[in-house]
Structure 1
Amino acid sequence: MIEVNFTNEQLKIIENLGFDLTQEYLKQLFGSSSLLQDDLVLVLKVSNALYRARIPIITNEQYDLYISMLKDINPRHSYLNTVEPELLIGAKTVELPQRMLSTDKAYSKEEINRWINRVLKAAEEINVPEEEIYVRVTPKLDGYAAYDDGETLYTRGDGYRGQDITRAFNRGLKVANNGPRGLGAGEIVIKKSYFNKNMRDTFENSRNIQAAIIAEKNIDEKVQEALNDGACVFYPFSTLENHTSHFTEVLSNFESIVDEMWSTVDFDIDGVILEITHEPLKQYMGATRKYHRWQIAFKVNEDSAEVEVLDIIPQTSRTGRISPVAELVPTKLSGATISRVTVHHYNMVKTKGIGPGAIVRLVRSGLVIPKIEEVIKEAEPKLPESCPSCNSHLLWEADHLICPNKTDCPAQTENTLIHFFKTLGNNDGFGPKVIEKLTAKGYKHIHEIYSLKPIDFAHYGFGEKTSQNLYDQLTASREIEIEDWRFLSAFGVSRLGGGNCERLLQHHSLPDLFELSAEDLMKLDGFAQISSESIVEGLYNIKDEFFKVYELGFNLSETPKLQDNKVSISPITGSVIVFTGTMRHGSRGDMEKQAKSLGAKVAKSVSGKTDYLVTGDKVGEAKISSAREKGVKVISENEYIELIR
């Protein structure tokens, strides 16, 4: 439980996000010791927005606690698998020159060892000798993530689209160590020594300074003075102090290397970053929708306690799976009071004897929610017989209790609609509270919501301005271009996350997917029998609703096909191409899509397998020289245009 009081400024930001939440409701929400999944996601969204606005309502540790609670309830929830948005409220977004992902976290040496083992397994698969595997360790700056392409400075946004904050450079922001512009991703930070000496009496923390640097409004005099004094900088990740050595040395001297990195810069840090340096291996390992697999952050903390279970509360997810949440005697671990934890599944509740009166050992590692390590004292397990949302009789499916009511279960309906708008990601306003109001009025399907007019929203209790805004957002979500794989993923079919959607659409068009059999899917790489059968069943279940929404006329960009006989062989068919710098013939994303449509493979970094490095404006000589040393042909943007013509 957390006691909070929201300021008027914080409430204004929450209102601008489209949330219709009162001070009293927010206090009740943040003070609750038993949050359902939707309320938990709402707490995370509000907390993240206020943190990005530099007026946080909870600590980083408390936020991590909520994140881990959501992981326990629903580890595949879309909020956990997308980059937490870092946006300026009300500002327009633009496409980033390059994707900016979050960093996966580890809190123990064992987790680092497991990461190294995954690296070694990938290296073996592509015949990279172990002696070539080096790890670069750098401090993890605690600043404001941004990307500098030499002309524009962008916020990280949601990893795909950010906002133009070039005004920070116009105000006097410098690149750290007097470096050049255009070095890619980095953090806006302020020197700790300067902040402590000159600004601590005025600003609560350094993140408030970073917010002022990029704010659209007039800049604070003290912040401007810090810019003039060179205390505020944009620090590109590529230029950070680092310790780079063979992975065996990093593992054997891990503690001393971490200590070394912790004191290497005069900026706030909250851990260290480890990443492999072998470019072909990095390219092979790739990324999830949220993290690079070849990179990990390390943080330190661990605590444990024996705790009594007070009750087991069932919660219904979007898929109908019932999650058991153990309410606990409030216990302090690593500075946070823990009063609930999600048990993995109800089979664990049944077999381990987890019920009121049970004593469990919790381990809280890395300032996140504890996991149940073991059951010290068993009790009579508490199992629900019916769905807590719709009272339907529950069925066992492997380790899980499932609500079979796919059409009239309020929890499943609400969570499905929330998932759609969250995954679509090109509209604002349709968060949990708005969806809750609409489902309470009988709206159960996506296409029904798109039929609403401003007068309908007003009739359901929304203000005139909000009603018009919600209608405009629905219109915009159909008009703004989005990828067809993202559109499909928004329907929440089991085992059809963004990656699998994109892989399917590289072989089949969107409407044709609904005619495929499990055998058809199993012919494709990455689709085993169980997942194929699950996907086919899931597509069958959403088919009617999918086409009702699809026929509303969304602006979908088609995933390029790996094999398309309708496309003639081009000069770059089969080539591996990397685009770098600022392009003049369109955005880098547009040029990458065009290259894929011509049969090329587009990579994000240069390796020995790269055929062409296409250079736009403001590309460093070091990058060009490095590419040529690898045998890569370097051509200008104009030369590339001539080549494909």
Structure 2
Amino acid sequence: MDDLFANLDSDHSDSPQERMQELADEIRRHDVLYYQKAQPEISDAEYDKLFRELEKLERKHPKLADPNSPTQRVGGAPLDEFTSVEHLVPMLSIDDVFELSDDQLSTLPDGHPREAELIEFYQRLRKNTGQQKIPVTIEPKLDGVAVSLVYRDGALDYAATRGDGKRGDDITANVRTIQSVPLVLPDSAPALLEVRGEIFMPNSGFAKMNEERDEEGLPTFANPRNATAGTLKQLDSKEVAKRPLAFLAHGLGAYDGPTLASEDEFHLLLDTLGIPRNHPIWHASTLDDTLKAVAELNEKRHSFDYATDGAVVKVLDRNLRDTLGTTARAPRWAAAYKFLPEQAETTLNDITIQVGRTGVLTPVAELTPVLVSGTTVSRATLHNQDEINRKDVRIGDTVIIEKAGEIIPAVVKVVTEKRSADSQPFVLFDFVNGQCPSCHAPISQEEGFVAWRCTNFACPAQAVTSITQFASRKALDIDNLGTSVAEALVSQKLATTPLDLFSLDVYTLASLNLGTKYVPRLFGEKRAQKVIDALEKAKSQPLSRWLYAMGIRNIGESAAAELSRLHQSLTDIPNSEVITALADLPNYEALSVSKRKKENHPLLKDYQINADLGVIAAKSVLDYFQSDAGQAILSKLSEFGINPQSDNFAPKPAEQDTSDLPLTGLTFVITGTLSAPRPQFKKRIEQLGGKVSGSISSKTDYLLAGDNAGSKMTKAESLGVKVLDEESFEKMVD
């Protein structure tokens, strides 16, 4: 993403199949951002909107539905940094039902209830059980990170994240630091007990932690959920122990003990064993009582010391649950009723402009502070000039803002009837006099893009985030060089670009003041030496990491890896015939993989460039290295004797000698849900000499099939293609 306020593109294809693919790709991207990177870009409400649209399209066009659609999955894939573990019992999600908005009600007959979807859920329970009264429990929907705690013989065996619902990440070391998680249970504990629940940060602890971080000059967290997700992916459990995490149980997984006839008996078991659980709990036996309980929860939830955006309704009797059963992704006996995002009216006093890592100028509304969803909101994103134009937002307007667990509150609409007669439309370019508010360099708007950008590569606002990107784990992995250190380096004029880091010495770094003039806090010699050592090591990092570290627009990890495959060293890229040829093909992204391979081009035909590196990315690379700033970078790298080399150089696959590789001559097709994303398996197969095709044919040698294999499994069996599960594949590779 370009900046914190990057917004979704609202334009999309009218074709149902194309729209379904667009939605699936977008949801998967946000799953990765949320579950793996803990860097969500959109709110829960926006995510729910995408998810529901895809569900509706799949119901309307069942023949077009992909068996690997996000609607068939529970969450994101496990993180690479942790050991992957298989859940004893799949961790299913819970289907959402939504409180209807005023806009939705306006299209329905008068008297249509706001709780219509919740009522429909209860009526389905009646229909599927044949009972008019169905006892249920109602509890707050916790806004944390879902985890599984497995106890064997009364001791914590391991803890795991939800992952993809079948496999998760082993986070036992981190969970053991949470005070509310018992490590040993009483003697009465069953032989096997798997407790599902949420890890979260209490609001009070979160506020105190942010206050302390701010005093120390460290970046603060956006909200408790984001802070929790970021904390749990820490590899150092000592750092986790410093964070105010808590745990509440709300579900049962694998279990070997006395029969639990109801949810109440499960709660009693948790209380007996000293395992903290979700509360308060309401009970209801009728639809009216259920609606009353949900309304009461909605009224009381802002007094809780944790975030909640809904109510979870569960059938009380466990035998009745067995009768109702489950779908592929969720139980039929439970639903999460999502409350409407809360809105508030306030005044937009001013608009300030933020400058992001890539120079994008983002307008931010400065508001009269107002209480929304239990927190005080004083700022809201306006995204870009197009968004401002669409909503006709002006300084001085009365506006409606919305916040329901989002990272950044947003302006929903303007109350135009309260607008001043002398108000003027807001034009970003005129507002900043055509200059970057950080460095006063000219700003520009590229053709086809809505964003205005600062044209100065050495802009201080970009310098901090560029240095942070440069030093990140996926880039050059320079320990002890986070945002707060980057800010200090820039503010004290010790670095204006990432390459300035290589001119630093231990003494200068050790003397870096991370505090204030009156309360100094020096970086220290030990930490300084670690940074210098990491910088020296960075000089020999592979080309793909360097390309990602440079923060070139449209070049992520995958595109950087493909550039590295095509070029032996960094200095080969600026004048690359391959990249120049690719940049001249305007419709390259629209071509299928097979057509890319057959493209009638003297260069591209043999290179088999994959979809990760398209025309836009190629143009960005050329623009970057042909600019004055890019030339300055190459010159500076030359001074330091740095010319990163490829560790995966194989530009023309057909010319590679793969005769000694174990999968040479074999063609694979990959389908279903595996323990890692399919591209990882594809890469392994190709590195071992094999080929990966997108469709089954008589020429296919093997189908690597995970869970929910679908139609490809059926076709493979009909053609006599050998099917491998993941275990068999690993044996073949070994």
- The normalised TM-score by structure 1 is 0.54
Letter in 2 for 1:515: N
Give yes or no for contact 2:44–2:406 (8 Å, CA) kept in 1: no
Distance 1:578 1:597 in 2: 15
Structure 2 match to 1:429: 480
Give yes or no for contact 2:311–2:338 (8 Å, CA) kept in 1: no
Q: Determine which of 504, 511, 519 is the counterpart of 1:452.
A: 504
Letter in 1 for 2:53: R
Q: CA deviation at 1:608?
A: 11
Q: Deviations over 1:484-506 (max 9, x none)?
A: 43431221112222333344445
Indicate the SS of the match to 1:224.
coil
Change (3 A) 1:609 1:380: farther
Letter in 2 for 1:312: I
Structure 2 match to 1:390: 439
1:565 and 2:655 aligned? yes
Q: CA deviation at 1:577?
A: 6.8
Give yes or no for contact 2:548–2:557 (8 Å, CA) kept in 1: yes
Change (3 A) 1:495 1:360: same
Distance 2:167 2:456 in 1: 46
1:470 and 2:531 aligned? yes
1:321 and 2:382 aligned? no
Give yes or no for contact 2:44–2:404 (8 Å, CA) kept in 1: no
Q: Deviations over 1:179-216 (max 9, x none)?
A: xxxx9623779xxxxxxxxxxxxxxxxxxxx767545x
Change (3 A) 1:389 1:361: same
Indicate the SS of the match to 2:415.
strand
Structure 1 match to 2:424: 380
Structure 1 match to 2:457: 406
Structure 2 match to 1:154: none
Give yes or no for contact 1:334–1:364 (8 Å, CA) kept in 2: yes
Change (3 A) 1:488 1:85: farther
1:233 and 2:207 aligned? no
1:307 and 2:346 aligned? yes
Change (3 A) 1:185 1:331: same
Q: CA deviation at 1:388?
A: 2.0
Q: CA deviation at 1:470?
A: 2.0
Distance 1:475 1:351 in 2: 50
Q: Deviations over 1:112-151 (max 9, x none)?
A: 2333478799x99xxx65497888678879x999654589
Change (3 A) 1:638 1:362: closer
Structure 2 match to 1:185: 167
Change (3 A) 1:231 1:478: farther
Distance 2:373 2:436 in 1: 35
Q: How many residues align?
A: 462
Give yes or no for contact 2:342–2:372 (8 Å, CA) kept in 1: yes
Distance 2:195 2:645 in 1: 36
Distance 1:564 1:314 in 2: 51
Distance 1:260 1:137 in 2: 21
Letter in 2 for 1:500: A
Change (3 A) 1:132 1:111: closer
Give yes or no for contact 1:147–1:185 (8 Å, CA) kept in 2: no
Give yes or no for contact 2:152–2:193 (8 Å, CA) kept in 1: no
Q: Determine which of 512, 533, 552 is the counterpart of 2:619.
A: 533
Q: Determine which of 518, 534, 547 is the counterpart of 1:488.
A: 547
Q: CA deviation at 1:519?
A: 3.8
Give yes or no for contact 1:608–1:632 (8 Å, CA) kept in 2: no
Distance 2:635 2:316 in 1: 56
Distance 2:72 2:574 in 1: 47
Change (3 A) 1:326 1:452: same
Structure 2 match to 1:281: none
Q: CA deviation at 1:406?
A: 2.5
Q: CA deviation at 1:340?
A: 0.5
Indicate the SS of the match to 1:405.
coil
Change (3 A) 1:496 1:343: same
Letter in 1 for 2:509: F
Give yes or no for contact 2:86–2:167 (8 Å, CA) kept in 1: no
Distance 1:175 1:447 in 2: 43
Structure 2 match to 1:575: 667
Q: Determine which of 180, 184, 198 is the counterpart of 1:224.
A: 184
Structure 1 match to 2:467: 417
Q: CA deviation at 1:558?
A: 1.9
Indicate the SS of the match to 2:558.
helix
Task: Give the percent of matched residue pairs that are identical in Structure 1 and Structure 2.
Answer: 20
Q: Which has the higher contact order (CA 8 A, sep 6+)?
A: 1
Indicate the SS of the match to 1:309.
strand
Distance 1:259 1:438 in 2: 47
Give yes or no for contact 1:353–1:380 (8 Å, CA) kept in 2: no
Give yes or no for contact 2:667–2:693 (8 Å, CA) kept in 1: no
Q: CA deviation at 1:429?
A: 1.4
1:520 and 2:571 aligned? no
Distance 1:579 1:343 in 2: 41
Structure 1 match to 2:685: 595
Indicate the SS of the match to 1:374.
strand
Distance 2:327 2:476 in 1: 30
Distance 1:455 1:314 in 2: 36
Distance 1:299 1:274 in 2: 20
Give yes or no for contact 2:367–2:379 (8 Å, CA) kept in 1: yes
Structure 2 match to 1:498: 557
Give yes or no for contact 2:664–2:690 (8 Å, CA) kept in 1: yes
Change (3 A) 1:212 1:131: closer
Q: Deviations over 1:436-462 (max 9, x none)?
A: 222223322333313433223124342
Give yes or no for contact 1:522–1:528 (8 Å, CA) kept in 2: no
1:338 and 2:377 aligned? yes
Distance 1:485 1:359 in 2: 49
Q: Deviations over 1:78-124 (max 9, x none)?
A: x999757989xxxxxxxxxxxx9999975376422333478799x99
Letter in 2 for 1:375: V
Give yes or no for contact 1:393–1:403 (8 Å, CA) kept in 2: yes
Letter in 2 for 1:421: A
Give yes or no for contact 2:31–2:75 (8 Å, CA) kept in 1: no
Q: How does 1:51-450 map to 2 (within 5 A)?
A: 70-71=5-6, 106-107=44-45, 110-116=49-55, 129-130=64-65, 147-149=83-85, 172-174=155-157, 185-186=167-168, 213-215=175-177, 222-225=182-185, 229=190, 233=194, 301-346=340-385, 348-349=387-388, 354-365=393-404, 367-377=406-416, 379-381=423-425, 383-385=431-433, 386-397=435-446, 399-407=450-458, 409-422=459-472, 423-424=474-475, 426-439=477-490, 440-450=492-502
Q: Deviations over 1:208-240 (max 9, x none)?
A: xx767545x9x999422269656863879xx97
Change (3 A) 1:303 1:636: closer
Indicate the SS of the match to 1:436.
helix
- The normalised TM-score by structure 2 is 0.49
Distance 1:131 1:331 in 2: 44
Distance 1:591 1:135 in 2: 19
Q: CA deviation at 1:339?
A: 1.0
Indicate the SS of the match to 1:331.
strand
Give yes or no for contact 1:573–1:598 (8 Å, CA) kept in 2: no
Change (3 A) 1:535 1:118: farther
Distance 2:317 2:382 in 1: 41
Q: CA deviation at 1:473?
A: 3.0
Larger Rg, first or second structure (1 or 2):
2
